[in-house]
Structure 1
């Protein structure tokens, strides 16, 4: 039954996607004319995308939006953040309400094909986990037989949860929620025994609790969740811009280009890859309809990938995530940018 609901959501969004297929070159032209990037983000997930009391957005995904705005419009502040839920995010992108979606979204087969979306890369390798109150006395997800579990609708976690419990011959009762804020509220109110979502999301949610040590994230990771920004099918130029902005942030970390030393490297670097990345040779930006300094501005907006990770979700933040799979390929991780040449 849950599988049918999931597929029904996919089919409904597919209709919208087919109607609002992007036209080649249209998105860049619209963003330039509007002089503002519309970026779809989470309704509120500390560390990834959340507004402060003054309405200023910060977070790991927010930093990507600002980098893209800097690359295209020359100013990281020229972004309108559009909050989206698990159910509304793909509709917002397909309908043209947002130009890019940067919202903890998993790159899957059906989303890439049936929803007519293009994921431009992976900015966080994740997996689904479970969080419980320490008082429950549970130390493994395999002890959750018969539990009530809070789960966001319209997400890959629904099907993953059903598959995991079926494979382990366990039963559960879902408590459906629309957003992380609602999930946190229901979980803290005792409406569910466990909360399941991406492990990074659980860490971000727990960090916001008054007493985070009273809650534990269970050791099991039950899925692969490659998260990344997405654009609509049909506008390959805009897809290139979104993809290579992400690659620029990743490559900058690999080559030691930071927000602090970038200007010096513009003047002094003899590394051909760095020279092309920073626009001092070859003018790669012209191939996408941008100027030579697009990547330089993207990096200056919030730093390279490592700087963004450390500032928003790294081990020295309340969220406390280790790099793990999200370390550079040279450091044993999966992070790998295609060559700038």
Structure 2
């Protein structure tokens, strides 16, 4: 019996060590290493000074603020579709926020965990306006630019076979090269997440009016973060950060009023969210006001969305499925209690 107890204790200790590994590493380093893309307008792209901006970047900043108390304590690693998962598996990055689609196979074969969806998207197509293409059937026989190592490459073939559309994929290992090729006129169409296509037309085309994103999408593309298996504490922090940003929007907590609401609100849900009551932070080994710090870094989910991809941004996307459940969308926070 003693041997069993000792063995069980060692197993628990070993599991706890694995689970706490990334959180401890980030705290000791004093810096979050966040895997992002290098050229998706609205999600992650560097400006002329090399400062990253976008929806995924704001999640990295919120995470750093919550865990380290400083939203600027982030080192961004720009990753391609081919090396993004390897970088996470090897420990090169702490978390992957790179508008990556969550799928069954990615969930069960990569040794990685998929966090809550932070953007619901679909695979779309962009064409030249003067091509006169109105729907996907008009692309039969067309050359289509597509990125290698993405769900888009697989879905393009699946959809074509299922619907009798013969298109000619032109595959690229770099997004920037794909954009240059398409806008240079070599491809009849380009396929990617519809949100990314809108960003590409806004930022990479010489004249946005020359291009149109077709209204049809051919897939579900639920985008969200990835963490490593066996790192449960860190994975839970990533998940509850997202739920906290959604909860903040539902409760009317913003970057501007978060401090005041933490002091004055008598609403129990707001008190728990902002650390004025309860011990939600200490259960992760964090300060009780970790979500207050995260919200102050860039606002609630609605603020992050609108600033980067919504009506206040060059992309001007509708909230659609990314609205909160109270407004007909799919964004829904688990209860903080």
Q: Same fold judged by TM-score > 0.5? A: yes
Alignment correspondent of 2:192? 197
Alignment correspondent of 1:288? 284
Cα deviation, residue 143, structure 1: 1.1
Determine which structure has more spread, i.e. the larger CA radius of gyration: 2
Alignment correspondent of 1:130? 125
Which SS does the other structure have where 2:19 is aligned?
coil
Give the conservation status (yes or no) of the 8 Å contact 1:70–1:76: yes
Which SS does the other structure have where 1:192 is aligned?
coil
Aligned partners of 1:316 and 1:295: how far apart in 2? Answer: 25
Alignment correspondent of 2:24? 29
Matched, 1:91 2:86: yes
Give the conservation status (yes or no) of the 8 Å contact 1:63–1:302: yes
Q: Which runs of 5+ in 2 are unaligned?
A: 1-16
Cα deviation, residue 130, structure 1: 0.3
Aligned partners of 1:66 and 1:195: how far apart in 2? Answer: 31
Aligned partners of 2:175 and 2:256: how far apart in 1? Answer: 35
Alignment correspondent of 1:252? 248
Q: With structure 1 as the length reference, what TM-score do the two structures score?
A: 0.92
Aligned partners of 1:301 and 1:232: how far apart in 2? Answer: 25
Give the conservation status (yes or no) of the 8 Å contact 1:43–1:179: no
Alignment correspondent of 1:54? 49
Mapping of residues 205-284 of structure 1, within 5 Å? 205-208=200-203, 209-284=205-280
Give the conservation status (yes or no) of the 8 Å contact 1:61–1:103: yes
Q: Residues 292-319 of structure 1: CA distance to partner in whole angstroms, max 9, x if unpaired?
A: 1100000000111011111111123211
Give the conservation status (yes or no) of the 8 Å contact 1:40–1:83: yes
After TM superposition, what 4+ stretches of structure 1 lie above 4 angstroms from structure 2?
none
Cα deviation, residue 269, structure 1: 1.1
Give the conservation status (yes or no) of the 8 Å contact 1:259–1:300: yes
Cα deviation, residue 179, structure 1: 2.8
What count of residue pairs does the alignment treat as equivalent? 320
Which SS does the other structure have where 2:98 is aligned?
coil
Mapping of residues 58-69 of structure 1, within 5 Å? 58-69=53-64
Give the conservation status (yes or no) of the 8 Å contact 1:120–1:231: yes
Aligned partners of 1:45 and 1:236: how far apart in 2? Answer: 29
Aligned partners of 1:179 and 1:324: how far apart in 2? Answer: 29
Q: With structure 2 as the length reference, what TM-score do the two structures score?
A: 0.93
